[in-house]
Each structure stands twice: as structure tokens, then as C-alpha cells.
């Protein structure tokens, strides 16, 4: 019993260590590579308006929850936060634990397309992120909704140079976007996570944008896109697994109209005594017309005895 108890204790410690290591790796700097397309396709530079009392702009004419803060564009879509250095993406996924506090503090009324669960919340107050993301997030971001309004930082200048880049002139690659940004926009983000993200993104190559389609309904328990793509793969592989059963090999087909070989010797053994008896009758002078068998010969002898 003591050995078993010690084993459970050791396994528990290993599980805790592995969980902690996984959490620290998954968060990292908190922002992924800018290679996501979330369906925001603007024909030109958006109309950004300042939110009174906040260092944040919002876009009332953009279909979605679209903001500008600290030199970057922010969008809350599909229950996730995304960030981009250009108004039309590509976008990078932001971990909930590192979203800037001034983005989190934006009142509900400035969300153009708020989720369904926003409707019961006060419009002049920020969303209840602790209720949405859980107790663990609330413990780590404690005090996010309280600050000294007299020390609110100023708004970052808008990157109006991007107005010249519309349609085919829009930079097609993230590397090209960064070159134009360095030459045209001198503002440096104040948020440490955003600054680290920009430095790391310049060192890592980015692939083509991965488009995420807008589902008709999206809730907290909806399936992520990475899991939805696994179903068709299994469906494509299923017919390959059942193909051998649909076409059995020819060597297993049963042979029709062939008598079993094991019974042939027995038939020959039954026929040989009968042929001998027939031959004996022929030698004695009898035949089929006089008796046709041993039983009939005996019966005919008894009838003749009675007649005499």
C-alpha cells in the first residue's frame, strides 16, 4: 500500500509539472504569426473615430468589432482577439492573457457587432471578460477594469499613409508591409507585448493567409476550425478501408457443380456387390424377368408349393 501511495504522489507531481510547462509554452509572447484572414475585406482605409476618454479609436462603418490602439488594428471576432499592423490584415491571433487593458476597457456600446452574450451587459461599461474567460483569467488579470483616468495615455497617430494602398496596391506580403511601415510610420508601440511581437514577426517568415470562414452561429462550445477539418479527412479514408470487402478475390469463390471427392469410393463399393449378385443369377439361369431380386425368388417358391 505504501508503494502504491508513493506512486500516486509521484504521478501527481509529474502531472502538475507537465501542465505548468504546457501553459507557459502555449502563452509565449501571446501573439501568433500574422497569417490569418478573418473575412474583413475593406475597399479602402476605414473611418476611425476616437472613443471619448480612451486612447482607442473605433470604426462605426466596418462590419465587425474594429479598433485602433497603440499603432495597431484590433478586431474581436469569433470570440477571439486579432491584431494587425495594416487595416486589411493579415491578422495574428492574440492570447486572452495579453490583450492590452485599454482594449479590454472599451465599453460595450462601441462594439458594432457584439456577441449575443453582450446584450445583457451595461452599454457604458466594458464587457465582463472575467465571466467570459473564466476564473483563471480573472485571477491573472486582476484589476484590469480599474485605472486612474487622469493618467490615461494619449492616442497613437493614425497611419494615414495606408490610404494610398488600396486594391491591387495593397501590400501582398507581411515583409512588404513592414518595409512600408518602417519608412512611413515612426510611432513605436508602448505595449511591451506588441513591441516584442513586431520584433519577433520580422525575424520569422510568414506564409499565405489562412482564411477562417464566418459560421452562421458561434458559441462558447463551438468546434474550432482545426477540428472541423478532420472530419472530411476521415471520410476520404473510410472507403479505402472497406474496399477489399467489396471486391473479394477470385480464389475464395466456391466451385459450383462439383461433387465432393470423398464420396466417390463409397459409391463404387456399394455398386460392386450388386453387380456380383446379378452375375450369379445369370449363371443359375434366372434373370430380371423371373424374380428381379432375392426376396422375389423366395416368394415365388412358396406360391408354387401351395399350388401343388
Higher pLDDT residue, 139 or 199? 139
The whole-angstrom distance between residue 121's C-alpha and the CA centroid of its chain comes to 32
Statement: residue 73 has pLDDT above 90: yes
pLDDT one-digit tens code per residue, 102-126: 999 999 999 999 999 998 999 999 9
Higher pLDDT residue, 143 or 266? 143
Mean pLDDT over 123-138 rounds to 95
Mean pLDDT over 47-60 rounds to 97
pLDDT score recorded for residue 35: 78
The 10 Å Cβ neighbour count of residue 226 is: 7
Statement: residue 34 has pLDDT above 90: no
pLDDT one-digit tens code per residue, 213-239: 444 334 343 434 333 333 333 333 444
Give the pTM: 0.60
pLDDT one-digit tens code per residue, 241-266: 444 444 555 555 555 555 555 544 45
Higher pLDDT residue, 203 or 50? 50
With CA atoms as reference, report the closest residue to 300 among 282, 275, 283, 289. 289
pLDDT score recorded for residue 206: 53
pLDDT score recorded for residue 275: 61
- In this prediction, residue 193 has a pLDDT band, given cuts at 50, 70 and 90, of confident
List of E strands, the chain: 36-37, 49-50, 57-58, 65-69, 72-77, 80-84, 92-94, 210-211
Domain ranges of the chain: 29-213
- In this prediction, residue 182 has a pLDDT band, given cuts at 50, 70 and 90, of very high
pLDDT score recorded for residue 287: 52
CA distance 62 to 43: 11
Mean pLDDT over 45-61 rounds to 97
Which runs of consecutive H residues, i.e. helices, occur in 141-292? 174-184, 192-203, 225-228, 230-246, 264-284
Average pLDDT value over all residues in the chain: 73
pLDDT score recorded for residue 11: 52
pLDDT score recorded for residue 216: 39
pLDDT score recorded for residue 199: 82
Statement: residue 157 has pLDDT above 90: yes
Amino acid at each position: 500500500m505504501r508503494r502504491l501511495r508513493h506512486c500516486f504522489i509521484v504521478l501527481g507531481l509529474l502531472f502538475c509539472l507537465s501542465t505548468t510547462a504546457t501553459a507557459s509554452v502555449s502563452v509565449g509572447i501571446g501573439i501568433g504569426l500574422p497569417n490569418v484572414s478573418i473575412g474583413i475585406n475593406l475597399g479602402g482605409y476605414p473611418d476611425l473615430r476616437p472613443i471619448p476618454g480612451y486612447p482607442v479609436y473605433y470604426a462605426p462603418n466596418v462590419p465587425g468589432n474594429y479598433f485602433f490602439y497603440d499603432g495597431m488594428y484590433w478586431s474581436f471576432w469569433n470570440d477571439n482577439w486579432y491584431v494587425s499592423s495594416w487595416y486589411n490584415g493579415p491578422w495574428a491571433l492574440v492570447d486572452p492573457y495579453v490583450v492590452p487593458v485599454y482594449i479590454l476597457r472599451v465599453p460595450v456600446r462601441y462594439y458594432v457587432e457584439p456577441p449575443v452574450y453582450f446584450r445583457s451587459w451595461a452599454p457604458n461599461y466594458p464587457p465582463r471578460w472575467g465571466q467570459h474567460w473564466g476564473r483563471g483569467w480573472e485571477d491573472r488579470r486582476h484589476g484590469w477594469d480599474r485605472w486612474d483616468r487622469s493618467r490615461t495615455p494619449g492616442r497613437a497617430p493614425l497611419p494615414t499613409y495606408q490610404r494610398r494602398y488600396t486594391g491591387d496596391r495593397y501590400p501582398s506580403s507581411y515583409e512588404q508591409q513592414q518595409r512600408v511601415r518602417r519608412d512611413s510610420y515612426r510611432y513605436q508601440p508602448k505595449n511591451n507585448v506588441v513591441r516584442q511581437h513586431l520584433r519577433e514577426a520580422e525575424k520569422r517568415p510568414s506564409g499565405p493567409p489562412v482564411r477562417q470562414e464566418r459560421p452562421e452561429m458561434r458559441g462558447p462550445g463551438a468546434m474550432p476550425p482545426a477540428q472541423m477539418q478532420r472530419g472530411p479527412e476521415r471520410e476520404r479514408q473510410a472507403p479505402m478501408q472497406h474496399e477489399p470487402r467489396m471486391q473479394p478475390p477470385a480464389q475464395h469463390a466456391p466451385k459450383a457443380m462439383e461433387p465432393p471427392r470423398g464420396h466417390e469410393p463409397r459409391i463404387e463399393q456399394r455398386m460392386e456387390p450388386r453387380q456380383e449378385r446379378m452375375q450369379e443369377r445369370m449363371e443359375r439361369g434366372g434373370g430380371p424377368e423371373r424374380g428381379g431380386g432375392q426376396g422375389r425368388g423366395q416368394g415365388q417358391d412358396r406360391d408354387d408349393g401351395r399350388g401343388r
